[in-house]
Amino acid sequence: SGTVTHKKYVRDPDLARIGFGQSISCTGMQLAAAISACINGGELIKPYVVSDIISQDGEVLLHNERTVVRRVISESTSATMRTLMQGVVENGSGKNAQIYGYSVGGKTGTSQKYEEDGSVSNTKLIASFVGFAPVDNPQFLCLIMVDEPNVPQVYGSTVAAPYVQQVLSGALALMG
């Protein structure tokens, strides 16, 4: 599960770190759900892993429906977020996620991990990229997180974004 310090324990230095993503954590599913809310018009949707489970004889054993948990941002703020995230791919650090003929939005991430003694590590990192397409009507969202990549320079833009590009390209091609 994710970790957020209760507000009664948060001090001024914590506020500064929380503002840019330190001292908090979330699971990949939580991050994907949050980004989805940012780009889908502002609604937090209950996530699920599979839409249907169907038996060998064709009986639907489980069918998940779209379930809105609550509105978290306005539709206009969501539209602004889509535009900003498109800029990350077209003009910023997410260029490795571009797909010819499609509008793609996304955001890089480079997260520090903690050492066993609870201190922030200077060497253990998670590189990530979350991308979605098409920007004007998002149909696909892909999050790739690489835990402690063994490369000289660890950035979400170089370690994860190319794989998001591959996954989204394949999904878009399948949808025609």
pLDDT digits (tens, 9 = 90+) for 142-161: 999 999 999 988 999 999 99
pLDDT confidence bin for 10, thresholds 50/70/90: confident
Whole-structure pTM value: 0.87
Is there a contact between 32 and 130 (Cβ–Cβ < 8 Å)? yes
Strand partners, 109: 128
Write the CB contacts of 1 (distance below 8 Å, at least 6 apart in sequence): 27
Average pLDDT, integer, range 74-101:
97
pLDDT confidence bin for 172, thresholds 50/70/90: very high
Q: What is the pLDDT of residue 9?
A: 86
pLDDT confidence bin for 58, thresholds 50/70/90: very high
Q: What is the pLDDT of residue 66?
A: 94
Q: What is the pLDDT of residue 46?
A: 95
Amino acid at position 75, single letter: E
Average pLDDT, integer, range 55-77:
97
Please choose, from the candidates 39, 48, 32, 37, the residue with its C-alpha nearest in 3D space to the C-alpha of residue 70: 37
Q: What is the pLDDT of residue 25?
A: 83
pLDDT at residue 97 is higher than 80? yes
* Residue 98 buriedness (CB in 10 A; 0-12 / 13-18 / 19+): middle
